[in-house]
Structure 1
Amino acid sequence: MMKIDRTVATSAPTSEVFDFLADFTTTEQWDPGTVRTERISGDGGVGTAYANTSRFLGRTTDLTYVVEVYEPGTRVVLRGENKSVVAHDTMTFVPTATGGTSVRYVAEFDLKGLARMVAPLLTPAFTRLGDDASAQMRTTLDRLGR
């Protein structure tokens, strides 16, 4: 399993940050690997499905994500899957003492088939992906707080 675990602090209030990130279509704005995400069913809560196209190491891949947990203002968990990977994305939101928000974003990737064999070689690329996504998330969320 490959894992990205980052915490991003922003001055934006928790309600705004939650509403923004819980709508997974916003990945186009804060996840540099995302090419496109569209909601294909649901109202944003549990059971909502998103079609996501991402680019990783020069390859484009499509995943279908489904919201498994939706706790307003607190936590969102999504599960994405295609033929080569199962992804679990968890976002946890904690208000800060200054009125901002701390977001912990954990993405776990269970690779399938041949991808599993090369997983150890992908560690640097996943680390870079996590660093880039957290930096872009921080920049995007700070714009909400203005």
Structure 2
Amino acid sequence: MDNSHRLCIDTFGSSGASVDLAEATARPCASVRRAAPEQKVPGAVAEFAQTEALVVEVERVITLAHPLPDVVGYLADFSHTTSWDPGTVSCDRIGGGELSVGSEWHNVSQFRGRRTELRYRLVRLDPDHLTFEGRNRTATSTDDMRFEEDGARTRLIYRARIDFHGPARLAAPLLKREFERLGDEVSEQLPKAVAHALGVPPAAGGRPR
């Protein structure tokens, strides 16, 4: 995903620069699978049916024209999802100070005409790896970004995952195609957003920021 996705979706909830500056390639690896259930006492079949989670995952590999530290610095601020995630309506930082593990955002996304709200938290902040986790009462959304140097460019492996809980889990198999579409849109929009924010990359004659 998920805008997760960052691909966010409605879970029954309250719920540019030219492309030649960066190329995006999408892997057809969206999937739906069951998450490992919690341990249940014998005979609790009804409870198991209500609590078992279903998972939708999407992965995209995107090559960006800017150096790795600049790309990570830009994407570490999750409020920028309004620029690169087509589903995001707003994403506002909660609190202030320097970005660090534990920083949070209030995210509002629109999916299939309905809005969903999640509270996102930065759970991993490494020089080459970012992970954000968003939650509401029906789903947990995880945006995982791993970065690799590719000469003067950056290779981004972007994974969006939605864990559905309760009745919302029934929607997961129906939404696989929608997640694939959103993944394609992110692959197209994210390089444009990075190019717009960071300007002409140094290798193309610009100045580092």
TM-score range, shorter chain: over 0.9
Q: Which has the larger radius of gyration?
A: 2
- Give the unaligned 5+ runs of structure 1: none
Deviation at 1:145, TM superposition (A): 5.1
- Mapping of residues 52-67 of structure 1, within 5 Å: 52-67=107-122
Alignment coverage as a number of residue pairs: 144
Amino acid at match of 2:99: G
| Counterpart position of 1:25 | 79
What TM-score comes out, normalization by structure 2 length?
Answer: 0.66
Query: Could you list the per-position Cα deviations for residues 3-48 of structure 1 after superposition, in whole angstroms to 9, with x for gaps in the alignment?
Result: 1111110111111111110110100000001000111035321010
- Mapping of residues 95-106 of structure 1, within 5 Å: 95-97=149-151, 99-106=152-159
| Counterpart position of 1:139 | 192
Query: Could you list the per-position Cα deviations for residues 97-135 of structure 1 after superposition, in whole angstroms to 9, with x for gaps in the alignment?
Result: 2x0111111111001222201211111111111111111
Does 2:47 match 1:47? no
What TM-score comes out, normalization by structure 1 length?
Answer: 0.93
Higher normalized strand content (fraction of residues): 1
Matches of 2:123 and 2:177, distance apart in 1: 29
Matches of 2:111 and 2:167, distance apart in 1: 16
Amino acid at match of 1:46: V
Amino acid at match of 1:76: L
Deviation at 1:58, TM superposition (A): 1.2
Matches of 2:141 and 2:188, distance apart in 1: 21
CA RMSD of aligned residues (A): 1.2
